[in-house]
């Protein structure tokens, strides 16, 4: 087949489109996908609603950034303990219980007028359930997908990006006509739907012989640190989040400072999701692990540099939106690294190991959220976005040498 014929084939049937067709032909994967589509879209709209709710009460960028921080902070420590449940019990039961807990937390905020501190506490409660769900889904996906794992992983990641796009866009539109409580009530309903769907999945479990929390955590930590093909991809996934997380965290203070409303904030927040979807469509199919690492490193280096240059100029909103779009490319480009990690992790500790990875990502994200909020408080949201973009560039540059030394064999 000539290069022209290969190009024509990719244009006519992009890899992501084929992955969707293959993945969604499986009833269990289809149910899990619909559950993800429902709950994640509502969840992103709820993040926007919670941020607006707190910002209206406090008029503080730091308090608004705290919404993101308290949502993800439970995944540090508490999250790892909760995620060991996914290696000890059936994955579907763990996912359903987590969905019900999150539905209850959002419904509480929707129905009861609460001060900002109580809203943050409810967001924290919801965040406590999220790690167990994500770990159980990450562990169940290879078993449900089998040989289709790489394609299914790309499908679920692109769905997440679609949910970011739809959640922020729809959330911004809803907030223009509804009180934030109404958006939160809708999100609670999406979690109820997700719980019903995941409860109907075939039973899957890790088959772990070690059922103590401490034993699972130790075994998972050894699996993560002992293989450099796991260690370095995990580091690059976690240490490239500073700029993108700042953009997500400061979107409300930034657009408010620039004189724009919630609808514009929703569109700007959704921009990375749009470019992530486009990137996923054209992303090459599975390569060798060495080629995957080099591709991801080159892409992250390019997009973080572009974003930093644009944001440091403190441009008007239309130009800043380009930097937000570029961050979407960075997000989807790390997915192949997750595939490398998922294939190499032992099944007996896969859920717990993924929870540790998620905890690391959350730690970096929470630090980025709080640091960007503090910088915005001391300077301006626009200046904070530029500084955080520089941190992303530095992190990628620091990780380049060990990543380039990786060789298969």
What does the pLDDT look like over 356-376, one tens digit per residue? 887 788 778 778 888 888 888
Q: Residue 155: its pLDDT value, please? A: 79
Is residue 10 one of the residues assigned to a domain? no
Query: Between these two residues, 258 and 373, which has the higher pLDDT value?
Result: 373
Is residue 311 one of the residues assigned to a domain? yes
Is residue 323 one of the residues assigned to a domain? yes
Which range marks the domain in which residue 151 is found? 15-200+210-404
Is residue 205 one of the residues assigned to a domain? no
What does the pLDDT look like over 311-335, one tens digit per residue? 777 777 777 788 888 887 777 777 7
Is residue 321 one of the residues assigned to a domain? yes
Residues 6+ apart with CB under 8 A from 258: 317
Is residue 8 one of the residues assigned to a domain? no
Q: Residue 11: its pLDDT value, please? A: 41
* pLDDT-based confidence at residue 6 (cuts at 50, 70, 90): very low
* Alpha carbon distance 92, 156 (integer Å): 17
CATH number at residue 253: 1.20.1250.20
Whether the per-residue pLDDT at 5 is higher than 70: the answer is: no
What is the number of domains present in the chain? 1
Percent of the chain with pLDDT over 90: 1
What does the pLDDT look like over 153-206, one tens digit per residue? 777 777 776 666 666 667 677 777 778 888 888 888 888 889 999 888 888 877
Is residue 173 one of the residues assigned to a domain? yes
* pLDDT-based confidence at residue 9 (cuts at 50, 70, 90): very low
What does the pLDDT look like over 128-156, one tens digit per residue? 888 888 888 888 888 887 777 777 777 77
- Average pLDDT in the chain: 78
Is residue 5 one of the residues assigned to a domain? no
């Amino acid at each position: 087949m000539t290069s022209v014929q290969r190009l024509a084939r990719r244009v006519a049937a992009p890899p992501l489109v084929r992955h969707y067709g293959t993945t969604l032909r499986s009833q269990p994967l289809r149910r899990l996908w619909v559950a993800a589509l429902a709950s994640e879209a509502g969840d992103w709209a709820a993040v926007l609603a919670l941020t607006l709710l707190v910002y209206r009460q406090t008029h503080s960028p730091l308090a608004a950034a705290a919404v993101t921080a308290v949502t993800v902070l439970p995944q540090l420590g508490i999250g790892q303990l909760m995620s060991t449940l996914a290696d000890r019990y059936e994955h579907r039961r763990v996912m359903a219980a987590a969905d019900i807990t999150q539905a209850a937390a959002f419904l509480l905020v929707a129905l009861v007028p609460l001060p900002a501190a109580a809203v943050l506490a409810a967001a924290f409660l919801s965040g406590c359930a999220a790690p167990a769900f994500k770990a159980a889904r990450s562990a169940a996906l290879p078993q449900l997908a089998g040989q289709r794992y790489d394609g299914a992983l790309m499908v679920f990641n692109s769905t997440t990006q679609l949910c970011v796009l739809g959640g922020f866009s729809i959330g911004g539109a809803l907030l223009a006509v509804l009180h934030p409580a109404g958006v939160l009530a809708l999100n609670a309903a999406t979690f109820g739907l997700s719980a019903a769907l995941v409860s109907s999945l075939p039973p899957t479990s890790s088959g772990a012989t070690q059922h103590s929390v401490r034993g699972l955590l130790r075994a998972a930590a050894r699996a993560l640190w002992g293989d450099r093909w796991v260690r370095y991809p995990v580091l690059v996934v976690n240490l490239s989040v500073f700029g993108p997380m700042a953009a997500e965290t400061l979107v409300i203070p930034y657009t408010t400072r620039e004189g724009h409303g919630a609808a514009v904030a929703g569109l700007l927040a959704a921009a990375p999701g749009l470019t992530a979807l486009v990137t996923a469509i054209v992303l090459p199919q599975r390569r060798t692990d060495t080629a995957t690492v080099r591709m991801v490193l080159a892409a992250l280096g390019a997009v973080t540099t572009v974003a930093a240059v644009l944001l440091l100029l403190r441009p008007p909103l239309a130009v800043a939106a380009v930097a937000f779009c570029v961050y979407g490319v960075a997000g989807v480009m790390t997915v192949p690294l997750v595939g490398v990690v998922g294939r190499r992790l032992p099944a007996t500790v896969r859920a717990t190991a993924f929870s540790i990875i998620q905890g690391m990502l959350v730690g970096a994200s929470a630090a980025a959220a709080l640091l960007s909020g503090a910088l915005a408080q001391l300077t301006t949201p626009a200046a904070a976005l530029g500084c955080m973009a520089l941190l992303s560039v530095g992190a990628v540059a620091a990780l380049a040498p060990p990543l380039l030394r990786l060789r298969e064999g």
